[in-house]
Amino acid sequence: MAWFKKGKELKADKKVKIPEGLWVKCDNCREIIYKKEIDKNLQVCPKCNYHFRISALERLKLIVDEGSFIEMDEGLSSSDPLKFRDRISYREKLEENRKKSGLEEAAISGEATIQGHPVILVIMDFSFMGGSMGSVVGEKVLRASETALEIKKPLITVASSGGARMQEGMFSLMQMARVSAAIARLKEGGVLYISILADPTFGGVTASFAMLGDIILAEPRSLIGFAGPRVIEQTIKQQLPEDFQRAEFLLEHGLIDKVVDRKELKKTVAQIIRLMA
Amino acid sequence: MIKYYLDFEKPIEELELKIEELKRISDGKDMNISGEIRRLEKKARDLRTEIFSKLTPWQKTLLARHPDRPYTLDYINIISEEFVELHGDRKFSDDKAIVGGIAKIGNDTVVIIGHQKGRGTKERIKRNFGQPHPEGYRKAFRLMELAEKFKKPVITLIDTPGAYPGIGAEERGQAEAISANLMLMSRLRVPVISVVIGEGGSGGALALSVSDRLYMLEHSVYSVISPEGCAAILWRKNGDLNADDFSKASDALKLTAQDLLQFKIIDDIIPEPLGGAHRDVEQTAKNISEKILEALDELRAKTPGKLTEERYKRLKKIGSFVEES
């Protein structure tokens, strides 16, 4: 058996050069996988079922009926109330992120159908300033919620966020209150709200609309929590358990309804809407 | 009692020590010395007025965290004629970082809830430095529902570095507990008045401050993230951040009562005595209670439906964006 072990070590030592874009190393199982295979599999690792982060637009394709999405409130943009700047100004940072992500903000919203069911939808994008919630994201969630209430159609949100957007200071923090107030009205109006949590969902987003769903779904192994793991580690000065703040951990602790594979997500949402109608 | 002076108060400390020294020597007899004492006392007062008239946001942050600063229970004990503290969330435990109960203020019975910090090592630990677990927010939730059921106004006092970041807190749903409070408070059918008395630390502070009237004490702060946290994110330079970095971060965050009044995020500022709330707790408590009673008078006249409608409208206004059509 000894030479087997040796063989394994050798393999680990060897530096593998990966041609840009053609092969991808899975963040979870470390396997090198042909990128097209992952693309075909909805950005899920075919070896270990690890769900790669996806953009809001990819998410949209995956969850709504083709050609059904009509964007709302796409003209909203932040007005930099604090005149915040670190190395670069907040305005420049926004511009950078727009170029990088091809999006105007960290969330898109609109109406669409899911297997024929009309819904109002908000999808966050982690690649835009860490999916942080400032005034614009808050306003989009608020308006989406009000529209859902008005037309009595379910609200679906897909969260993926580091939390409140520091660069807008208290304006960001107050978005948590605003969106929670809008969801409260939705609930009183008897309108279904399904909250989907994707990797990662933290801080002010978790502690507001993301945890307020009538039904809360999460993608496998998504990191979800209030405080980030690094902050917790620094506070308690202990190493965190391996599965800590993973979707499965939240399920185990009774905080979410269901962990749903990406390929089942659309079907599951449609099923819930149909059953709750 | 040994007084605690912050760094920027050192010149005042020196003067006051000198005054005390002179008083001890003179024992009230020597006329020449008592003249000198009066002169120094005026000088100390002028110096304090000058220093406190131009505090930086970071200095205000330090003042808001001053170890002698009055805490929730200090104020409750002064402003309420009667107070019955109520405990526990009925689910898991009694979180001592949030206190609450029924109180009589003026002619009103109110439910009063606030973050509670501790004084001295033992009590600080007991109060978890004012950082609540989910149970604290759930206790607050229960008390607010109680208030609604018996049509009593809700008063909240805000003073926390933030909700506690720990394993148990996450396991028991810190985020859910906070979000549930935000939702409940937005639709409570009784008046809700919030006062930031010290530190308004992010979501953990917000979870008690969705209200009809939001006030801040003159030297309190309210922020989406602590200056230390902000500095660590912006200037992550080998971990050794200093007061200069925190100072810059506090400037950028616009976390003072004065900034937030300008942004119309809060409704008014409650003045503090010269030198800060701890210099005259009675006076500060009186200022707070007057403001609360004034707001109550105004809010009492509104029907529950109007209250919740106006509260929602107030929230809706808080955003900073432009819209292209």
Task: Give me the amino acid identity at B248.
Answer: K
Task: Give the strand pairing for A155-161 and A193-201.
Answer: parallel
Nearest chain A alpha carbon to B321? A78
The answer to whether A145 faces chain B, any CB pair under 8 Å, is no
Residues B173, B197 within the same domain: yes
Same-domain pairing of B19 and B138: no
| Degrees to nearest 5, angle at CA B69 with B68 and B70 | 110
Whether B243 is covered by a domain: the verdict is yes
Do B74 and B194 have their domain in common?
Answer: yes
Place of tokens 């009186």: B286
Q: Note the pLDDT of residue A13.
A: 46
- Residue A259 three-state SS: strand
What is the predicted ipTM? 0.95
Question: In terms of domains, do B166 and B193 share one?
Answer: yes
- Examine the domain organization and report whether B169 and B305 are in the same domain: yes
Cα B140 to the center of its chain, rounded Å: 16
The pLDDT tens digits for A134-144 are 999 999 999 99
Secondary structure letter of residue A241 according to DSSP: P
Find, in chain A, the residue whose alpha carbon is nearest to that of B311: A181
Q: Is residue B2 part of a domain?
A: no
The maximal CA–CA distance of chain A, rounded, in angstroms, is: 70
Q: What are phi and psi of B192, to 5 degrees?
A: -125, 125
The CATH classification number of A53-276 equals 3.90.226.10
Q: Which residues have C-beta within 8 Å of that of residue A133, sequence separation ≥ 6?
A: A106, A107, A141, A161, A163, A164, A165, A172, A175, A176, A204, A205, A208
Instruction: Determine the structural domain holding residue B218 and report its residue range.
Output: 61-316
Residue B35 within any structural domain of the chain: yes
Answer yes or no: do A210 and B182 touch at CB < 8 A: no
CA distance A72 to chain B (A): 11
Enumerate the domain spans of chain A.
1-52, 53-276
What does the pLDDT average to over A215-224? 97
Judge if B304 and B218 occupy the same domain.
Answer: yes
Cα–Cα dist A146/A133, whole Å: 18
First and final C-alpha spacing in chain A:
61
d(CA A248, CA A255): 10
Q: Check residue A163 and report its DSSP letter.
A: S
Domain membership of residue B324 (yes or no) is no
Q: Tell me how far apart the alpha carbons of residues B64 and B56 are, in angstroms, rounded to a whole number.
A: 12
Q: What percent of chain B stands above pLDDT 70? A: 97
Please indicate, yes or no, whether residues B44 and B137 belong to a single structural domain of this protein: no
Domain count, chain B: 2
- A82 DSSP assignment: T
The one-letter code for the residue type at A174 is M
Beta bridge partners of A23: A34
* pLDDT tier, A15 (very low <50, low <70, confident <90, very high otherwise): low
Interface of A with B in 160-179 (CB under 8 A): 164-166, 168-178
Q: Are residues B30 and B135 in the same domain?
A: no
Residue B253 sits in the same domain as residue B124? yes
pLDDT in tens, A157-189: 999 999 999 999 999 999 999 999 999 999 999
Give yes or no: residues B150 and B203 share one domain: yes
In a domain, B4, yes or no: no
Which of B166, B185, B311 is facing A232, going by the closest CB pair?
A: B166
Q: Which residues of B254-269 are buried (b: 16+ CB within 10 A; e: fewer)?
A: bbbbebbeebebbbeb
At residue B56, the 3 state secondary structure works out as: coil
- Do residues B32 and B171 both lie within one domain? no
Q: Answer yes or no: are the C-beta atoms of A257 and A216 closer than 8 Å.
A: yes
pLDDT of A14 > 60? The answer is no
Give the domain CATH number at B180: 3.90.226.10
Kindly report the pTM of this predicted structure.
Answer: 0.94
Tell me what the pLDDT averaged over chain B comes to.
94
End-to-end Cα spacing for chain B: 63
What does the pLDDT look like over A61-98, one tens digit per residue? 999 999 999 999 999 999 999 999 888 999 999 999 99
Same domain, B75 and B122: yes
